[in-house]
Amino acid sequence: MGNQQFLADKIRTQEYHLNMGPQHPATHGVMRMVLKLDGEEIRDVEPVMGYIHRSIEKMSEHITYKQIIHLTDRLDYLSSHQNNEAVALLVEKATGIEVNDRIKVIRTIMSELSRIASHQLWWAVMGMDTGALTTFFYGFRDRELINDIFEETCGSRLTMNYSVIGGVRYDLHENFVKRVKDFIVHFRKKLPEYDQLLSNNVIFRKRTEGIGILTKEQVIAFGMNGPTARASGFVCDIRKKIPYSAYDRVHFEEIMATEGDAFARYKVRILEMWESMRIIEQLIDDIPEGEFKVKTKAVIKLPAGEHLQRVETARGDFGVYAISDGKKNPFRLKFRSPSFANMHGLNKMSEGTKIADLVVNFSTIDVVVPDIDR
Amino acid sequence: MTANKTIITDFLVDQMQMPVDIAFWVEIVVVAAVYLGVFALLGLFLVWMERRAAAFFQQRLGPNRRGPAGLFQTIADALKLVSKEITGTEKRDKFLYTIAPYFVIVTALMALAVLPFSQELQAFDINLGVFFITSVSSVAVIGIFLAGWASNNKFSLLGGMRSGIQMISYELSIGMVIVAMTVLTGTLQLSEIISFQQEHGWSIWSGHIPAIIGFMIFMIAGTAESNRTPFDLVEAESELGSGYHSEYSGMNFAYYFLAEFVNMFIISAMVVILFFGGWLSPFGITDGIPYVGVFWFVFKTLGVVMLMMWFRWTFPRFRIDQLLTLEWKYLIPISMVNIVFMALVVWLGLTF
Amino acid sequence: MTNTELKEVIGSWSENLNFVEEGSEFLIVEVPAAELRKIAEKLKTDANTAFDYMFSLTGVDYGEDLGLVFHIESTTKNHMIELKVKTSDRENPNFDSVSDIWPAAYFNESEAYDFFGIKFNGHKNLRRIFLDENWIGWPMRKDYKDEFNMLTR
C-alpha cells in the first residue's frame, strides 16, 4: 500500500479531454460528449447537445394542433405513435372530445407494438455497443414484422402519423388482427433467444452488472423516468399512474428492479417486452366495433389556460404542456422529453468508470437524440 | 549457407544448367513471390470466409453476387482499396505513420514462411520454428502501437495503448503453453513436432489433460493476440471508432486488415501444429501420399479459424481491466501450473 | 394532498404567494422571484409537500413578462403543482438557480437561457445548450424577428 502511494506521488498522470462525437457509433446519432479522462478512466462527462435541434417548439407556436401532431413524430421517432397520441389526447382532454372504445383500444395496441419495436431496436444496438454484432440482426429480424404491420395499416413504418385529434387516421387493415396474433406467437418463441444470445452471456453480465449504479433517490433527483428509472426502483409508469386510452382495462405489471445498474436497466426492458405482449393479447381478441374517428370541428381551438398530458413512451414519461390563449395555435408548447431528462444521470453513472462502461451506460439509458434536441 | 536439395534448385541446376549459387538466389525469389501470392489470396479468402460466416450466424446471405458464392467480392474490395487515396491527419508523425503498417504486414508474412504445409512443402524449416513464430509475431505490436501514436488522434492513441497492454500480456501465456508443449514433444522445430505426433498420436491425445488445458489457454490467448472479439479492444468500433487504424486509408488500411486475418490463420496453424498433428491425416489414412498433407493442414486450420469466427460473432467485448484480470490472475497462473503438470506427466511416462 | 390542502400548507410559508386554481388541473403557485429559492427548498424538504421530482421546467414569454413554469411532483404523496415565477426585466432577466435543489433543473435551466435569455444565478455551467454559441438573440421570445421563418403569420 505504501509503495502504491509512493508511486502515485511520483508518477503524475495528466488528464486530457476527448470529444466523443458528434459522429461516433456509440452516441446513436449526432451528439457529442466531452470526456475528461485520466488514461481510460472517466473524470467528467459533459454532453453537448443541439446538433439536431429543429426548433419544434417554436414551429408549434405558429401552426394548428392538427399540424403539430406531424412534428411530434420527429421527436422520438421510435415512439412516434405515443408522441402523436400525447398531442391528440391533450387536445381531446382540453376540448372535451369523447373518443369511443375502439379508438382507445387501437391506440393502446399500436402503442404497445411500437414499444416492443423500440425495445427490439434498443436491444439490437445494445448488443452492438458491447461488441456482440449478431444481436443487431436478431433484433431487426423481429422488428421488421412489426413495421410490416404498421405499414399495412397506416402506410408508414417509422413516423406513423396515425393518431389524429378525435381518433386514428385509417381503420385497421383487415389483416391486422391476424398478423398481430402471428407476431405474438412468433415473438414469444424468439424472445428467449435474446436471453440465450446476450443476457446469459458471462462476458455481457460482467460488462453490465454493477456498472453505472444509480440509487432511487438519485434517479428521482435527476428527474429521470421510464425503464431507466424503474431499474432503480422508482415507480413511474404513467400507464399505471395516470392511465390513458385503454390502459385502465388491461392487467399488466409495472416492471421494476432495485439494483439500478446497467444490467437492471437491460432486464427491465427485456421484461417490458413480455408485458407489452401480454397487454396486446388481452386487447387483440375483441377490438370493439365502432367509428375509428369521431367528428371534430374543422378548426380546433383550445380553451384558454394550461393543459398537460403525459404518456409513457418507450423511453419514459413524455409530457406535452400547452399554454393556450384560446386561439387555434398554442401560445407556448413545451415537449417534456424523457431522453432529455434521462441525460441528467449520465455524469453520475460514469463516475470512476471506463470508456467502455460509458458506452454501455449510454446505451442502457436508451436515448434518441432527436428527442433530446427537439 | 548451402542450398538444400529442393525441387526448384534441382530443376534449375539440372535442366537449366544454372550455377548452384545463382539457382539458390533464384529459388529464394521464386519462393518469396509464391508466398506473397499465397499471402494475398489467403487474406482475401479469409475475409470472404469471415463475411460468409458472419452472414450465416446472423441469418442473412452475405456476399453472393461476384463469382461463385461471392468469392470475387473481396478481390473487388481489394481493388477498390488499392485505388483509394492515401490520406492521413495533418499533424501526424509522417515517418512512423508511413512505416507502421509494414511492421504488421511483414511480420505476418515472415511468420507464414515457417509454417509446414506438408512434409514436402515448407519454405524455411529452422530448428527454432515455434520460437521464431512467437518472436516475430510479437514485433507486430510495434506496428499497431506506432500507428496509434503517429496518427495524432486520441482514439488511435487509446487503441494503440490498449494493444500494447493486451498483446504483450497475452504473449506470456502463449509462450508458456508452447513451453509446456515443448516439454511433451522435446523439440522446437515445427517439422519435428509433427513427426513426434506421427509416432505418438496427436499431442492433444498423447498429452491428454495438460494438453487440453494448454489448448484452451492457447485458443483464448491466440484470439486475444490476433485482436478479435471478445478481445477486439484495440479496434472496439463502438468505443474508439476503429482504434489504431482510424486514420489509415486505402492500401495502408488494407495492410492492417489483411494482416489481422493472416495472423488469425497463423495462430490457428499454430494450434493445429501444436495440438492437432499439423499435416497428419486422422488415423494416418493418407500418410503415404505426398502433398495430401497440404489439404489436411489447411482443412484443420480453417476449422480452427472457423472456431475463432464463431467466437467473434457470438461474444460481446471485454473491458480493459477484465481483459487484464483474465490474463494475469487466471491464464498465467494456470499455464505456469500446467507446465509443471506437463513435466510431471512426461517424467512419469503417463503420455500415450 | 388535494389542492386546497396544499394551498393551506404552502400559503402558511409566505405572504407573497399567489394561488390560482382556474385554467389548469393543478394548483398554480406564483412566487416572487426573490423568494423562489426559499420556497423551492421548503417545497422539497417539507414533509407535507415533499416535492422531490421536477417533472419539467418551461420558460415562457408572456409578452411583457418573462417567466418560468416548474411542474413539480411528489413521488411519495403523488401530487403535483405548477410553480410560476415572473420578471418584467426583459433586458437582463435573472432568477436564482434551483439546480442544486432539483438536479433535474440543470439542463433545463440552460435550455431556458438558450431560448429566452433568462439567466440563473448560481448555475454551474449556463450555456447555449441547443443553439450555436454565436447565436444572436433569444429565439423563443415573442419579439424575436426571424425573417427566414416561413410559418409566421
Q: Please report the ipTM that was assigned to this predicted complex.
A: 0.86
**Total domain count, chain A:** 1
Nearest CB neighbour to A334, from listed C25, C56, C102 = C56
Domain boundary residue, one of B67, B83, B99 = B83
Burial of C85 (0-12, 13-18, 19+ CB in 10 A): buried
Helix (H) or strand (E) holding C106: helix C105-116
Task: Tell me the one-letter amino acid at A226.
Answer: G
Lookup: cell for A349: 453513472
Mean pLDDT of chain B: 84
C50: contact with A, CB 8 A cutoff = no
CA distance B230 to B238: 13
pLDDT digits 0-9 by tens, C41-53: 888 888 888 888 8
CB < 8 Å to A55, chain C: 139
B233: contact with A, CB 8 A cutoff = yes
CB < 8 Å to A262, chain B: none
pLDDT digits 0-9 by tens, A137-157: 888 989 999 999 999 888 888
Alpha-carbon distances, residue A131 vs A139, A355, B230, B317 (angstroms)? 15, 13, 7, 5
* Preceding peptide of A22 cis, ω within 30°: yes
Q: Grade residue B2 by pLDDT with cuts at 50, 70 and 90.
A: very low
Q: What is the mean pLDDT of residues B70-94?
A: 84
Residue B113 and residue B178 share a domain: yes
Lookup: cell for A242: 395516470
CB < 8 Å to A305, chain C: 22-24
Residue B118 and residue B76 share a domain: no
CB < 8 Å to A340, chain C: 107-108
Q: Could you tell me if A267 and A81 are in contact, meaning their C-beta atoms sit under 8 angstroms apart? A: no
Burial of B273 (0-12, 13-18, 19+ CB in 10 A): buried
Q: Could you tell me if A272 and A316 are in contact, meaning their C-beta atoms sit under 8 angstroms apart? A: no
Q: What is the DSSP string of A120-173?
A: HHHHHHHHHHHT-THHHHHHHHHHHHHHHHHHHHHS-SSS---EETTEESSPPP
Q: Could you tell me if A173 and A152 are in contact, meaning their C-beta atoms sit under 8 angstroms apart? A: yes
Residue B181 backbone zone (phi > 0: left; psi -120 to 50: alpha; other: beta)? alpha
Q: Could you tell me if A110 and A162 are in contact, meaning their C-beta atoms sit under 8 angstroms apart? A: yes
Residue B352 lies in a domain: no
Which subunits count as partners of chain B given 3+ CB pairs below 8 Å? A
Q: What is the mean pLDDT of residues B169-196?
A: 87
CA distance A126 to B39: 36
Q: What is the mean pLDDT of residues A327-339?
A: 88
CB < 8 Å to C82, chain A: 306
Top residue of A20, A134, A186, A204 to mutate, by most chain B CBs within 10 Å, is A134
CA distance C153 to C151: 6
Distance of CA A305 to the CA centre of its chain: 29
Q: Could you tell me if A220 and A309 are in contact, meaning their C-beta atoms sit under 8 angstroms apart? A: no
CB < 8 Å to B316, chain A: 127, 130-132, 198, 201, 203-204, 207
**Total domain count, chain B:** 2
CA-closest candidate to residue A368, choices A180, A150, A103, A114: A114
pLDDT of residue A116: 92
pLDDT of residue B3: 41
Residue B28 lies in a domain: yes
Stretch 94-153 of chain C: residues touching chain A, C-beta under 8 Å? 102-104, 106-108, 115, 125, 128-132, 139-140, 149, 151-153
pLDDT of residue B6: 66
Pairing of strands C66-73, C80-87: antiparallel
Residue A325 lies in a domain: yes
Residue A4 lies in a domain: no
Which CATH architecture describes the domain C3-121? 2-Layer Sandwich (3.30)
Alpha-carbon distances, residue B266 vs B212, B305, C80 (angstroms)? 20, 9, 66
**pLDDT of B4 above 70:** no
Closest approach of chain A CAs to the CA of B253, in angstroms?
Answer: 19
Residue of C nearest to A342 (CA): C104
Residue A309 lies in a domain: yes
Residue of C nearest to A340 (CA): C107
**pLDDT of B147 above 80:** yes
Lowest mean pLDDT among A333-342, B24-33, B98-107: B24-33
Residue B18 lies in a domain: yes
CA distance B244 to B192: 38
Residue A8 lies in a domain: no
Count Cβ atoms below 10 Å from residue A179 Cβ, excluding itself: 17
How many CB pairs below 8 A link A and B?
A: 82
**pLDDT of B286 above 80:** no
CA distance A18 to A33: 8
Residue B58 and residue B109 share a domain: no
CB < 8 Å to B315, chain A: 131-132, 201, 203
Question: Which CATH number belongs to the domain containing residue A121 in this structure?
Answer: 1.10.645.10
Residues 6+ apart with CB under 8 A from B138: B167, B168, B171
Closest approach of chain C CAs to the CA of A65, in angstroms?
Answer: 14
Closest approach of chain C CAs to the CA of A339, in angstroms?
Answer: 12
pLDDT digits 0-9 by tens, A71-111: 888 888 888 898 998 999 988 888 888 888 888 898 899 99
CA distance B62 to B78: 17
Give C101's DSSP letter: T
Q: What is the DSSP string of A86-126?
A: HHHHHHHHHHTPPP-HHHHHHHHHHHHHHHHHHHHHHHHHH
Residue B48 and residue B155 share a domain: no
Residue B135 lies in a domain: yes
Beta bridge partners of C85: C31, C68
What percent of chain A is predicted at pLDDT more than 70?
A: 98
pLDDT of residue C139: 85
User: Residue ranges of the domains in chain C?
Assistant: 3-121
Nearest CB neighbour to B316, from listed A16, A203, A357 = A203
Q: What is the mean pLDDT of residues B165-189?
A: 87
Residue C122 backbone zone (phi > 0: left; psi -120 to 50: alpha; other: beta)? left
User: Can you state the angle between helices A176-194 and A262-284, rounded to 10 degrees?
Assistant: 150
Residue-number span of the structural domain to which B104 is assigned: 91-347
**pLDDT of A342 above 50:** yes
Domain boundary residue, one of B24, B48, B83 = B83
CA-closest candidate to residue A87, choices A102, A115, A107, A105: A107
Closest approach of chain A CAs to the CA of B101, in angstroms?
Answer: 24
Q: Grade residue A306 by pLDDT with cuts at 50, 70 and 90.
A: confident
pLDDT in 10s for each residue of chain C, 153 residues: 777 787 777 778 877 788 887 777 888 888 888 888 888 888 888 888 888 888 888 888 888 888 888 888 888 888 888 888 888 888 888 888 888 888 888 888 888 888 888 888 888 888 888 888 888 888 888 888 777 766 655
Residue A201 backbone zone (phi > 0: left; psi -120 to 50: alpha; other: beta)? beta
pLDDT of residue B1: 35
pLDDT of residue C64: 84
Q: Could you tell me if A267 and A231 are in contact, meaning their C-beta atoms sit under 8 angstroms apart? A: yes
Residue A5 lies in a domain: no
CA distance A20 to B244: 16
Nearest CB neighbour to A223, from listed C53, C132, C152 = C53
Top residue of A133, A199, A263, A361 to mutate, by most chain B CBs within 10 Å, is A133
Residue-number span of the structural domain to which A67 is assigned: 15-373
Alpha-carbon distances, residue A153 vs A156, A173, A325 (angstroms)? 8, 5, 36
- Beta carbons of C82 and A340 less than 8 Å apart: no
pLDDT digits 0-9 by tens, B200-259: 888 888 878 888 899 999 999 988 888 887 888 888 777 887 878 888 888 888 888 888
pLDDT of residue A185: 92
Q: Could you tell me if B346 and B185 are in contact, meaning their C-beta atoms sit under 8 angstroms apart? A: no
CA-closest candidate to residue B49, choices B227, B306, B231: B306
**pLDDT of A288 above 60:** yes
Q: How far apart are the first and last CA of chain A?
A: 51
Nearest CB neighbour to A321, from listed C56, C108, C151 = C56
pLDDT: which is higher, B1 or B113: B113
Residue B181 lies in a domain: yes
Lookup: cell for A236: 413511474
- Beta carbons of A203 and B318 less than 8 Å apart: yes
Residue A48 lies in a domain: yes
